[in-house]
Structure 1
């Protein structure tokens, strides 16, 4: 293996690692958004229950 092939191999490994890192971060962001959406849905249900409770008591 000559020097040019070794450099190409190293650069290829760095590129694959970088792409994997990007996919990992995108997955992390997507997971965070899904958790955020679930939190909002849960809070919406709690607010609705409080509204019903308040209107029944009034």
Structure 2
């Protein structure tokens, strides 16, 4: 098979598989986005507290 024929076959397979995908609706997308946002804020606050605590500890030792 030539490279062009292989590429065409691959692209056809990609189209077939893409049609099988179940895309999320707006509600699911909004819920997932909100969950990611909340987790990012939570982890950022946690890391800030750990950094602050360790900085305070190091300042007391020095």
TM-score range, shorter chain: 0.5 to 0.7
Q: 1:12 aligns with which of 11, 35, 39?
A: 35
TM-score by length of 2: 0.60
4+ residue runs of structure 1 moved beyond 4 angstroms? Answer: none
TM-score by length of 1: 0.63
Give the CA RMSD over aligned residues: 0.7
* Unaligned stretches of 5+ residues in structure 2: 1-23
Point out the structure with the larger helix share: 1
* Unaligned stretches of 5+ residues in structure 1: 40-58
Deviation of the 1:13 alpha carbon = 0.3
